Chains A and B, each alone.
Chain A
């Protein structure tokens, strides 16, 4: 049973870079034809797709965030990562990682990131 776990700082200062890692357990990140994705949810609001990566390194990003987002993968560690630059208070949210086909069938529990000085 594949499981995902997000990790990273819970507090980031404005204008700095948010960095999160998702660790995949119970299976190889390289197996099957899955993408690996990041999704976020501000408190009391809906879900927003951030981007996805394939184990080849191929990426797609939400156009509204594309200029600030980088997603990378480390197959040797069974991990993929998110970097979001120049953060503001509007980036405060719960960040989820997920396994993706055309839908997200496995989700991490989520990690709260607050942008504040």
Chain B
């Protein structure tokens, strides 16, 4: 089965840039999607198809994908960005696969 690996935690100061990685075998050949989940809430899609944003998601959220690593970048981090973030792909043999999740802490 296909495995997606994320760092357990990322810490960032307000106004700085947070980068969350998602590692997978040749993940660059797949479309990667990212979700934000705040405590006690359902996940929210923040980036789909590597780098597209749903309506209502700030431009501060951006994504990239190449080789064996996809990255979600949050620019000008705000306190409200503190949450867990999950990457996800669709794989022909595993169907929907989620990453292990990264907790973003705003210092």
Contacts and interface: CB of A to CB of B under 8 A. Distances in A.
Interface stretch (B9-17, B21-29, B90-98): B90-98
A109 interface: yes
B98 A48 contact: yes
B103 to A, nearest CB: 11
Question: What bracket does the count of chain A residues touching chain B fall in?
Answer: 10 to 19
Contacts of B35: 47, 104
B42 A49 contact: no
Majority SS at the chain B contact face: strand
Contact of A103 (B33, B42, B100, B101): B33
B61 interface: no
B31 interface: yes
B48 A47 contact: no
A26 interface: no
A104 B98 CA distance: 11
A34 interface: no
A104 B45 CA distance: 7
